[in-house]
Chains A and B, each alone.
Chain A
Amino acid sequence: MNDERDDLLDQPIDILQTDAEGNVSRRDFLKGVGGGLASASVLAQGVTTLPVEALAESPAQGVKGKRISGMTQVTLNVNGKERAVEVEPRTTLLNTLRDKLDLTGAKKICDRGSCGGCTVMVDGKTVYSCMMLALDAVGKKITTVEGIGTPENLSPVQKAFIEHDALMCGFCTPGFVVSCTALLDKIPNPTLDDVKEACSGNICRCGTYPRVFEAAIAAAKLKGGA
């Protein structure tokens, strides 16, 4: 166990630390919350910490929780499979998927919830995985673009994207595929405005939007929307 890190965490920490660009990182913010206690997280099922836990009570909120520090083993349900990974409390779901599970469909484009490139589904709802901690995804059903279809077994949305050329460099494409898939799960026969709304959190730089719209509407027909 990493005693050195425990020492660091017990020291007084500026609640707001800024980096070279003057940005406050969410990681520093979390370190500061609770007046010096690091990421006091309520343990969920499937989280086993390596030795040295401490029951801690946050003076501000009187919440009891187990303190998790350093590398922590968790199990995540990804595309229907239970996957064991080691993460830090601050590791995002995005980094976990990409760096630990080699599920690189979700992309790191802005890493701050502005572009949608990291979109996955968590319990059926679209989520920016860069804005979710891996620990918070424990016990939930995570679906990535790899779980929606494969080249040998394409989903209707994926087929429609190919047919309508709804992609160019392809870097934003997984995010759009997930957003469109989630849309059709909710609204089987969407209007153009529904599609625009559902994908309004996904940025494309090459300019695929008009064909993404076509593909989403065509996919609805492929799926036999009502």
Chain B
Amino acid sequence: MTAWKKPEENRILGKRLPRLDAAIKVTGQAKYTYDINLPGLLYGRLISSPHAAATIKSIDTSVAEKMPGVKAVIMTAKPGDTVRFHGQELGALCAASSDLAEDALRAIKIEYQVLPHVVTEEAAMKPGAPQVLPDTPNVFGASVDDKGDVAAAFKDAAATVEGRYYMAVRTHACLETHGVTIRWDDDSHITCWASTQGVTGVQSDLQRTFNLPGENVKVITEVMGGGFGSKFGLGYEGRLCAQLAKQTKAPVKMMLTRAEDQLSAGNAPSAIGEVKMAADKEGKITAIEGRVYSSGGVGFGGVPFPYIYNNFGNIPNVKVRREQIKMNTSGARAWRAPGHPQGSWIMECALEDLAVKIGMDPLQMRIKNDGNKIRQKQWLEGAKLIGWERRNEKPGVGTLAGTGRFRRGIGCAASIWGGGGGGAGSECRVMIHKDGRVWVGIGVQDIGTGARTITRMIVAEELGLPMNAVQESIGKSELGPAAGSGGSQTSASISPVIKTAAEAAKSQLLEIVAAKKNLNVNDLDLLDGNVVVKSDASKNIAFKDACALMDKESLTGNGKFDRSLVQAGVAGAQFLEVEVDVLTGCVKVLKAVNVQDGGVILNPLTMESQMNGGVIQGLSTGLYEDRHMCSITGRMLNPNLEEYKIPGTKEMPEFIPMIYTYPEAKGVSGIAESTNIPTAPAIRNAILNATGAHVNEAPMTPARVLTALAEARKRGTNV
């Protein structure tokens, strides 16, 4: 059993320290997987399907194989195989330059028998629609909640709303695309640089695929350019690259192009919620009835619903059916808080509509239905920060809205993340050398969250040293297995093993000092670069001098996962202020208040960056991102970054992140996913507050906003 020090006792933890890998990143020295150059490097390219559904009739790689610089062509698909989405992998080739690889790609001749496809939820659900997969109906995977008596509850309700809420498919759009650089050092040894969220996972995949012992497979990820849930495992691109490298006996770099990445490297499922919700006159939700559909393409993607406000089972009547829909589009992968932005969208939009119908302050209604004690306080903090009292009392009617072309409003929504408490499975070693050097090694990757920095911070804190007295090594499989960066698990998975490894090293050093200097080991501590003798400060020894007492060259502390250092579950609340241009339907987000708790806070500087990042992705979800499929060709129309819209500098609001702390926090907990969940519905509710328009489809494009404004006018709102 161990514990974090009280925040006021920390020298290093809890401080706003800059990232340790910042210097190499801002100077372009950081080497990402995409940047690895090796002697004799070959450039790999994916061969993929241009059709959403087709049978392969013939494949001819003979021309490509003979083209200048082409070293290998590997087909994994064969005649007779069925392809099921635009972008599906069929094989790969490699050549001496990326230009020559592109030439060869165009010379691959594949003949297809094109088949009917479905690429929209509506088309896939129609009776008689072409079945996407041979062994699964297009609508599948039903799960049902059935509690109480919704019919009776609706009869007795003070108010009821009914609505259809929709959220589009989104892609991860990581700036570094998916890929690996692989070199077979000999027939049974592989070095693999991977753009991955899980070094250990890539290592196991390579081990398994090629039947090699773990120590023969070296995976390296010192930095990587974004994952957001899509980069776990070797992937089909990694497997193909490894095969190319094996066959050519040369190092091969295979990174997906932007189009390929958008097409086949993951996405977040769409969601449709047809929901009826009722409340009593005090604003307590009494009943929810609904059908929720979500589509993960050829894969899977469930959406949690009801969301948050039923977490304590407090809604007495629930009748909900959740189902999934197959489409001829690439399979979904975990996307930052998988399913939650969708579930939050449906729930928070419906709840807001119900609050409006009752004529109740939507914040008060949320507080009334929220069983989470921490969020009860966060609601109040956030309300203060945004100035909740400024909001329009009725949708579209108030000083904030005004009556002109540009109307302002404020909305809010809740966030939750039940996980983030980490898990066992990461190893860590802390070594103290006789010459005073301190080293910590852990295999974990830093995907941009600051894992490298907190690794050193924890050791420096434990050993009472300044940051520059500790050297960390991370992101390499040879350092031992480590947690994948998913589920907001990283900080909570690694911080206990780092801390306990440092504690073990500390205890060994203090034993040595006690023995050599004839002191009581319980009287010793490490603080401010010294071994301190608590009962007699005159006997203090400088850390370096203490190390010199060692007989051996070094000592090693090994870490263990300790649950007492972590906690699972964080909560948050976001308040957004928007300005709606009622002439064009364009929405500008003015202010974003984000109240987020994180248990024991390790580095507030990097935590706030994560919080801002979550809001930006949530904003993007609410206003911009949309994967457009062409019903006729079955292809994605915007597999790029100019028509798949991600916000830029001019879409940014003022950010007001607030790290919510409370004295009872005992453990570290991950926050990244929580922060991107409620932003989209909070914006939608702000638009409703500003204009009286119910925009129920995300992204809330100008066209959709204008349509909703027209409907509001029909209902008599002066907008």
Contacts and interface: CB of A to CB of B under 8 A. Distances in A.
Interface string A145-176: 11011110010011001110101111111100
Nearest to B224: A169
B635 interface: yes
A162 B22 contact: yes
Contact of B25 (A88, A99, A170, A210): A170
Contact of A203 (B26, B102, B615, B648): B648
A85 interface: no
A188 B30 CA distance: 28
Interface string B7-51: 000000000001101111111111110110100000000001110
Interface residues of A, number: 72
B655 interface: yes
Nearest to B174: A205
Interface in B631-652: 635, 639-642, 646, 648-650, 652
Interface stretch (B295-303, B342-350, B494-502, B605-613): B605-613
Interface in B45-80: 48-50, 68
B258 interface: yes
Contact of B50 (A20, A150, A200): A20
A96 B714 CA distance: 59
Given A171-B226, A206-B448, A206-B613, A144 B35 contact: no
A168 B99 contact: no
**What secondary structure prevails in chain A residues at the interface with B?**
loop
B26 A171 contact: no
B173 interface: yes
Interface residues of B, number: 68
A45 B449 CA distance: 47
A157 B23 CA distance: 11
B87 to A, nearest CB: 8
A162 B640 contact: no
**What secondary structure prevails in chain B residues at the interface with A?**
loop
B649 A207 contact: no
Contacts of B650: 196-197, 200
Contact of B612 (A114, A115, A202, A210): A210
Contacts of B615: 207
A17 B106 CA distance: 10
A90 interface: yes
Given A110-B641, A205-B173, A158 B652 contact: no
Nearest to B67: A4
A104 B646 contact: no
A145 B28 contact: yes
A208 interface: yes
The listed residue with most B CB atoms (<10 A of its CB), out of A19, A117, A210, is A210
B605 A105 contact: no
B652 A196 contact: yes
A141 interface: no
A21 B635 contact: yes
Contact of A171 (B19, B32, B608): B32
A21 B259 contact: yes
The listed residue with most B CB atoms (<10 A of its CB), out of A4, A90, A107, A213, is A107
A37 B106 CA distance: 20
Given A163-B18, A199-B649, A151 B98 contact: no
Interface string A1-30: 010110000000000010111110101000
A102 interface: yes
B376 interface: no
Interface of B: 18-19, 21-32, 34-35, 37, 48-50, 68, 97-99, 102, 105-106, 173-177, 223-226, 228, 255, 257-259, 263, 447-450, 605-606, 608-610, 612-617, 635, 639-642, 646, 648-650, 652, 655
Interface of A: 2, 4-5, 17, 19-23, 25, 27, 88, 90-91, 95, 98-99, 102-112, 114-115, 117, 144-146, 148-151, 154, 157-158, 161-163, 165, 167-174, 177, 195-197, 199-213
14 contacts: A19-B105, A23-B259, A90-B99, A95-B99, A104-B31, A108-B34, A146-B28, A165-B18, A171-B175, A197-B650, A199-B649, A207-B609, A209-B616, A211-B609
